[in-house]
Amino acid sequence: MVSSECVPYVKVGGLADVVGTLPKYLKKQGHDVRIILPKYRIIDGVKYNLKILPYRLTVKVGKEQESFRIKTCFLDDNIPVYFIENMRYFNRLGIYGDDSGIGYGDNRERYIFFSKAAIEAVKAIMFRPDVIHCHDWHTGLIPAYLKTTHADDGFFWNTSTIYTIHNISYQGSFEAPTTLPMAGFSWEDYKSDKLEFYNTFNFMKAGLAYADIISTVSPTYAKEIQGVAGNGMEVVLQTRKKDVFGILNGVDYSYWNPENDNNLIANYSASNVENKKLCKKYLQGKCDFAIDEKTFVIGCVSRFDEQKGFDLIIDAIKKIQHLNIQIVILGSGNTTIRDGLLYLKHLYPQKVSVWTNYNEPLSHQIYAGADAFLMPSKFEPCGLSQIISLAYGTIPIVNKTGGLADTISNFSKDNTSGNGVVFDLYKGEQFVDSIINAYNLYQNKLLWNKLMNNAFLSNYSWDKSIKQYENMYNTAVEKRTAYTIYQIQK
């Protein structure tokens, strides 16, 4: 796995959860999995007991020779993790950018460097993988390098590549005339069926064009991105339709479990839900809200990003002030969204609490202490937060899109099926109606308990998805073998 994020070392969003968990399940199936990450400053070498390997390697970024070291440790005591350490690119406070939410100006160089360094690291440690699984645009160049600059490198002749789209709106698109030489590709590779993408050099396009297999994180999103949600990539994806897999992410229930979560004031489970009330009290206290069991507490933990539906959330908060509700929001990112939310907190201090940082313990306390969870995303590749909410018996209110559509079904009063409240048109009215709908359900303890029980019973564990991943890896290996035979014959 080559990725820019991985729990527990570095996390910005769901990508980190996937890369930190999937390998554990593959390992359980007997596979030899290893992870390559950038050594960001935030990754604590002492805490993770990082050991330095005896290599001093270099790769070229443009005309510059960039040197790097490899540090290593084990995830879960048995999965080797290799960190690419380079002071210039990764020894800074942020991951993708600074606090203002604006990305670093040299992200292009940073991930060209990382992709090249990852390839060299694999060779240095003498680990010849069957599959290099690349995640998101930061690693999109790796499949392209293996089929162009490294096409004659026998070390990789039996190595397939998979490129996984975790979010199609982050593509890494840059101007071609400077990026091509900086990345070390030739103009020959800059064709519409290869690196070129509407007159730009696009890292995601590189991954999509060259990887043996493409995947994304839910079946519905896999379909959506071949159409209106493709962000320009729909045609590329349609051309590769046969190679596109949509596999739902799982969550790590050993970590996201209210029964043994030590971030909570009290633990609870589906069969002993009484203590959830204590978690609610605790959250209300923490937010300076009136402590009242009857008040409907709505939580939200999210990146502040347009994708997540904050235009609807900000509007809806004003429209539901007549209800007996309290809303607690935790997030970071876009400063306009942040300021809009902080203004609401200022207007309604007794009903709205906004926390604007990355705060892992508080996120757990919100999942546990809230009654319902807001996730009205415009689009959602998979989404983990709604699945985590289910595990904490907290009812997700979601838009029917992507992975939300695959994991949450609308509760029916008639036959009491369904694990959440779903609206199916991205409109303010629909969203407000769905919150009111959830609010009304909450007033009926019998129905609400049934709904909570349905949430607890929902199971999106990796055990289910892992079989599909193995099937995908096998397909990738078969494809690569066919490609190698073709190369040799040529």
How many Å apart are CA 72 and CA 53, to the nearest integer?
Answer: 7
How does DSSP classify residue 46? T
Minimal distance, residue 256 CB to ligand ADP, in Å: 8
Residue number with CB closer to ligand ADP (179 or 394): 394
How many Å apart are CA 244 and CA 163, to the nearest integer?
Answer: 10
Minimal distance, residue 307 CB to ligand ADP, in Å: 7
Residue number with CB closer to ligand ADP (295 or 363): 363
Residue number with CB closer to ligand ADP (180 or 390): 390
CA distances from 278 to 6, 104, 273, 330 (A): 32, 42, 10, 20
Residue number with CB closer to ligand ADP (307 or 409): 307
Looking at beta carbons, which pairs linking 18-22 to residues 24 or more positions away fall under 8 Å?
18/135, 18/166, 18/217, 18/249, 19/135, 20/75, 20/252, 21/250, 21/251, 21/252, 21/462, 22/462, 22/466, 22/469
Minimal distance, residue 169 CB to ligand ADP, in Å: 10
Residue number with CB closer to ligand ADP (212 or 252): 252
Nearest residue to ligand ADP by CB is 14
How many Å apart are CA 125 and CA 237, to the nearest integer?
Answer: 34
Residue number with CB closer to ligand ADP (284 or 332): 332
Token pair recorded at residue 387: 């699945």
How many Å apart are CA 473 and CA 161, to the nearest integer?
Answer: 9
Residue number with CB closer to ligand ADP (146 or 354): 354
Binding site for ligand ADP (CB under 6 A): 13-15, 17, 301-303, 330-332, 358-360, 363, 382-385
Minimal distance, residue 221 CB to ligand ADP, in Å: 11
SS3 64: strand
Residue number with CB closer to ligand ADP (1 or 183): 1
User: Are the beta carbons of 220 and 213 closer than 8 angstroms?
Assistant: no
Minimal distance, residue 246 CB to ligand ADP, in Å: 15
How many Å apart are CA 40 and CA 44, to the nearest integer?
Answer: 9
How many Å apart are CA 209 and CA 146, to the nearest integer?
Answer: 12
Cis peptide before 361 (omega within 30 of 0): no
Minimal distance, residue 383 CB to ligand ADP, in Å: 4
Minimal distance, residue 363 CB to ligand ADP, in Å: 4
Minimal distance, residue 18 CB to ligand ADP, in Å: 8
Backbone angles phi, psi at 41, to 5 degrees: -60, -35
Q: Residue 281: which of 290, 268, 270 has the closest Cα?
A: 290
Amino acid 101 reads G
Q: DSSP characters for 352-382?
A: EEEE-S--HHHHHHHHHH-SEEEE--S--SS
Minimal distance, residue 302 CB to ligand ADP, in Å: 5
Residue number with CB closer to ligand ADP (23 or 331): 331
